[in-house]
Amino acid sequence: MTPSGYSAEAEGWRLVWDPSKDPFPLLIGGADWAVELTAVEACSLRAGLLSLLDQLGAIADQLMEEELISLELERDGWWLGLDGNPGRWQLRCILIPSPGLRGWEGAWAPGAGLELARALEPLPL
């Protein structure tokens, strides 16, 4: 990662951080879609995703691998949902629009959500 930007992608997700692209320095995407986020939106999304991962980590050892789980979080204009088993889950995100602002909804297939969260974690947002 450099001060001028960062990009990463793998199967089912991609992320591009370019601090010179004001007001939308972060692009995140799924298998066949992408959206640009403001730094505030990206920071809130990252905090929410990490919180969901913390919740999952806190209960994962109490669940059998084949047991299904559904976690939801609503915070700072985001609704986030995680569905699947502790080792492989699907992620859904909704940016709830404030009056006069845009909304957005996206999802990642099992496996891609965790990789995206890990890629978001070190960004200097």
Whether residue 74 is contained in a domain is answered as yes
Strand partners, 15: 8, 28
Whether 58 is in a domain gets the answer yes
What the block records as the tokens of 20 is 């010179």
For residue 58, the enclosing domain spans 6-120
Q: How many domains does the chain have?
A: 1
- Counting Cα atoms < 13 Å in the Cβ hemisphere of 118 gives 9
Helices 112-120 and 39-60 pack at an angle, to 10 degrees, of 120
Q: What is the largest CA-CA distance in the chain?
A: 45
Structural domain contains residue 105: yes
Residue 100 lies in a domain: yes
Q: State the pTM of this model.
A: 0.93
CA-to-CA distance for 21 and 65, rounded, in angstroms?
Answer: 42
Q: What would the pLDDT profile of 63-122 be if each residue is shown by its tens digit?
A: 887 889 999 999 999 999 999 998 899 999 999 998 888 999 999 999 999 999 999 999
pLDDT tens per residue, range 44-54 = 999 999 999 99
Is residue 125 domain-resident?
A: no
- List the CATH number of the domain containing 30: 2.30.31.10
